[in-house]
Amino acid sequence: MKIAILDDYQGLAKTIADWSRLDKDHDVKVFREHLGVPAEVIAALKDFDVLAITRERTLLDRATLEGLPNLKLIATAGMRNAAIDLECCTERNITVLGTGGSAQATPELAWGLILALARHIPTENARMRDGSWITTLGKDLAGNTLGIIGLGRLGSEMANIGRAFRMNIIAWSQNLTDDAAAKAGAERVAKDELFRRSDFITIHYKLSDRSTGLVGADELALMKPDAYLVNTSRGPIVDTNALVSALKAGRIGGAGIDVYDIEPLPRDHPLRSCPRTVLTPHLGYVSENTYQMFYTEMVEDIESWLAGKPIRVLSA
């Protein structure tokens, strides 16, 4: 079998998990660079039987899948991957298997962004290296309001940590109930109220047609002028043009962004030059424990499929 490991930007897949058994009997190739547009993906992968992929880094839509005639198995990080056309996979008899995931890695990064914004850590770090001393005034977490958009597994973890910081926790999602919010230690509020009241807003929502553009110009206009927006979920949930305009006009306090409409983020993207931002390159799940889980279980997935007993099946 020809097996491709895609988007291994850091070259860690083969060091953080044991691929030796697969290497012994199969041709395993690592692609460190993002392959880009569908034509480039097809050109690079048309001879491969198996793809091991990280969630939503490479698009495997119908047009791409139809250009991969040898493809029989996709092993993806996580049990959900919006970049894979599962219906097309079923039609083409391509098995899709998943892995476990972490409920801590992304919330931990989100809190890193919140703290970096609140206390201007990147700015002060840079100015310390230039020989400066205190130049900014930080914003307290205790007593301020954290607004959580999406109070599922990750959002609930954000609420737990927010309470430890003695913050007031409010939350909104389209199907959130008072009881579910209370169970997570939050107050359910209307969407507009969340944007008006929050000092920090953090997004933990699944990307879908319904959630694309969920945070746009109208929502940003409701925010306090010193409030911060943090997105570690998916880029298209926030209207990027509206966010860039709000930041450049100084209408919000700032933003911490880990996810983008286009990834990797182009060098000339306007977000890179926006003021009052902390930008990270989709680090939400990039942690040692998470990677060990992803890649170890991808190996297990491939071996289980080769043995005729596939596990963690998303589509068969």
What does the pLDDT profile of the chain (316 residues) look like in tens digits? 999 999 999 999 999 999 999 999 999 999 999 998 999 999 999 999 999 999 889 999 999 999 999 999 999 999 999 899 999 999 999 999 999 988 999 999 999 999 999 999 999 999 999 999 999 999 999 999 999 999 999 999 999 999 999 999 999 999 999 999 999 999 999 999 999 999 999 999 999 889 999 999 999 999 999 999 999 999 999 999 999 999 999 999 999 999 999 999 999 999 999 999 999 999 999 999 999 999 999 999 999 999 999 999 998 7
How far apart CA 301 and CA 52 sit, in angstroms, is 9
Domain with CATH 3.40.50.720 in the chain: 2-102+288-315, 105-279
Neighbours of 141 (CB within 10 A): 20
Give the pLDDT confidence score for residue 56 in this predicted structure.
84
Distance, C-alpha 26 to centroid of its chain:
31
Give the pLDDT confidence score for residue 43 in this predicted structure.
98
Catalytic residues: 234, 263, 282
C-alpha distance from residue 144 to each of 107, 170, 171, 222 (Å): 18, 11, 14, 17
How far apart CA 141 and CA 202 sit, in angstroms, is 14
- CATH fold of 2-102+288-315 reads Rossmann fold (3.40.50)
How far apart CA 164 and CA 75 sit, in angstroms, is 37
Largest CA distance in the chain: 63
Give the pLDDT confidence score for residue 64 in this predicted structure.
97
Global pTM value: 0.92
Contact 208, 234 (CB under 8 A): no
User: What superfamily does domain 105-279 belong to in CATH?
Assistant: NAD(P)-binding Rossmann-like Domain (3.40.50.720)
How far apart CA 94 and CA 82 sit, in angstroms, is 16
The H-assigned helical ranges of 85-216 are: 86-91, 105-118, 121-129, 153-164, 178-183, 191-197
- Respond yes or no on whether the N-terminal peptide bond of residue 264 is cis (omega within 30° of 0): yes
Strand partners, 27: 2
